Chains A and B, each alone.
Chain A
Amino acid sequence: MTQVVVVGAGPAGLACAVELRRRGVGEVVVLEREVTAGGIPRHSGHQGFGLRDLHRVLSGPQYARRYVELARRAGADVLAETMVTGCHADGTLEVTSPTGRELLRPRALVLATGCRERPRAARLVPGSRPEGVMTTGLLQQRVFLHQERIGKRALVVGAEHVSFSAIATLADAGARVVGMVTELPRHQSFAVVRAGAALRYRTALWTRTVVRAIHGRPRVEEVELLDLDTGRTRHVPCDVVVFTADWIPDHELAVLAGLELDPGTRGPRVDTGLRTARTGIFAAGNLLHGAEPADVAALSGRHAAASVADWLGADNWSGPVLPIVCEPPLQWVAPNGLGPRLDAPPRGRFSLRSKEFLRAPALEICQEGRVLWSGRVARLIPGRSASLRWGWIRSVDLAGGPVEVRIAQR
Chain B
Amino acid sequence: MTLTALDYDVVIVGAGVVGAAIARDLSRFELRCTLVEAGPDVGAGTSKASTALLHTGFDAKPGTLEARLVRRGHELLSSYAVQVGIPVERTGAFLVAWSEGQRAAFPGIVERAHANGYRAIRELETDELYRREPHLGPGAHAALEVPDEGIVCPFTTPLAFATEAVLSGCELRLRAPVTRVERLETGFELAVGGTRLTTRFLVNAAGLHSDEIDSLAGHVGFTVTPRRGELIVFDKLARPLLGHIILAVPAGTTKGVLLAPTVFGNVLLGPTAEDIQDKGDNSSTTEGLAYLRAEGERIMPKLLRQEVTAVYAGLRAATEHGDYQLAVHGPEGYACAGGIRSTGLTASMAIAEHVRTELGARGLPLSERDELPHVRMPNIGELAPRPYQQPERIAANPDYGRVVCFCERVTRGEILDALASPIPAVDLDGLRRRTRVLMGRCQGFFCAAEVAALLAEGGGQ
Contact = CB atoms under 8 A, between A and B. Distances in A.
Contacts of B389: 85, 96, 101
B452 interface: yes
Given A81-B402, A96-B401, A217 B446 contact: no
Contacts of B288: 126
Interface residues of A, number: 39
B289 A119 contact: no
Contacts of A182: none
Contact of B311 (A33, A126, A217, A255): A126
B448 interface: yes
A128 B398 contact: no
A100 B396 CA distance: 10
Given A96-B389, A126-B289, A141 B449 contact: yes
Contacts of A71: none
A255 B236 CA distance: 11
Interface string B392-403: 001100110111
Contacts of A129: 282-283, 312
A122 interface: yes
Contacts of A215: 283
Contacts of B403: 33, 81, 83, 85, 96
Contacts of A213: 283, 285-286
Please indicate which of the listed interface residues A85, A121, A146 has the most CB atoms of chain B within 10 Å of its own CB: A121
Contacts of B399: 98
A212 interface: yes
Contacts of B442: 116, 119
B102 interface: no
B424 interface: no
A255 B449 contact: no
B289 A122 contact: no
A137 B441 CA distance: 14
Contacts of A85: 388-389, 403, 409
A395 interface: no
B211 to A, nearest CB: 22
B40 to A, nearest CB: 10
B441 A128 contact: no
Contacts of A148: 449, 452
Contacts of A255: 237
Interface residues of B, number: 44
A124 to B, nearest CB: 5
Contacts of A96: 388-389, 394, 401, 403, 409
Contacts of A77: none
B373 interface: no
Contacts of B284: 126-127
B443 A119 contact: yes
Nearest to A130: B283
B221 interface: no
B406 A126 contact: no
Contacts of B232: 124
A119 B446 CA distance: 11
A138 B309 contact: no
Contacts of A33: 403, 406
B445 to A, nearest CB: 4
Given A124-B308, A126-B289, A97 B449 contact: no
Contacts of A69: none
Interface string B307-326: 11111100000000000000
B92 interface: no
Given A120-B443, A145-B449, 6 more contacts: A83-B403, A117-B445, A118-B307, A137-B446, A141-B449, A142-B452
Interface of B: 232-233, 236-237, 280-286, 288-289, 293, 307-312, 388-391, 394-395, 398-399, 401-403, 406, 409, 441-446, 448-450, 452-453
